[in-house]
Amino acid sequence: MNEASQSVPLRLNGLLTEAGLEAVDSVLAGGFEAYLSLLLRWNARVNLTAVRDEGGILSRHFVESIACARALPAGIATLLDFGSGAGFPGIPIALCRPEIAVTLAESQGKKAAFLHEAVRTLGISARVHSARGESLLEQFDCVTLRAVDRMPQAVKAASRLATPGGWLALMTTGEELAALQAGAGPAWVWLKAVPLPGSAERMLSLGERRISSPA
């Protein structure tokens, strides 16, 4: 059986296994299959993501986002996906970690409309903030950023939206990592960055916001 003829759950679990990650169960695989179907339909008429083929979305977006969801520390109750775009990694986090209430912040109208439809279709614990993330007045236990426009400025804005003791999750390249960490400011203690599956260059960096400001 060639790859194209395999079911989406089988292909997704094959990619996860190749990446050294645990496979998802049938219920979760079904959620990702529904998400993929919706994404492909919308992407045919709205430019949600530059990666437009099934295989690329599974390997580039889904596996990487699942790896992020599993790496997030326990105890996170609220999470902001800053500049969510087509929902990565926020929607996979909501699927994999249903105990987390996810906010998807996206200012582009067509992408925000897709996110509303995805939340409704998938029945996930998420809401859409159809404006820029920095306009939010609340704070979150974790803020994620991945492929956001003007990433250095976005990290600076996003760092203010994490609670004291909360987390910042940056999905970026090793080349950009040090500058982004510095841009978040001195209030962050960074864990050792871990490689993301599917790329030799992409990393996940988790930072914890100090409860008291550094001297």
pLDDT over threshold 60, residue 98: yes
> Who's near 32: CB < 8 A, 6+ residues apart?
8, 9, 12, 24, 62, 92, 95
Domain 3-209 has CATH 3.40.50.150: yes
Cis previous bond, 186, omega within 30? no
pLDDT in the model for residue 211: 79
pLDDT of residue 186: 93
pLDDT band of residue 53 (cuts 50, 70, 90) is confident
Q: Does residue 3 register a pLDDT over 60? A: no
At 1, is the pLDDT very low, low, confident or very high (cuts 50, 70, 90)?
A: very low
Reported as a pLDDT band with limits 50, 70 and 90, residue 215 is very low
Q: The whole model's pTM is what?
A: 0.94
* pLDDT beyond 60 at 214: no
Supply the mean pLDDT for the chain.
92
* Domain chopping of the chain, boundaries: 3-209
pLDDT at 5 over 60: no
Mean pLDDT of 34-43: 95
Encode pLDDT of 146-168 as tens digits. Answer: 978 788 899 999 999 999 999 99
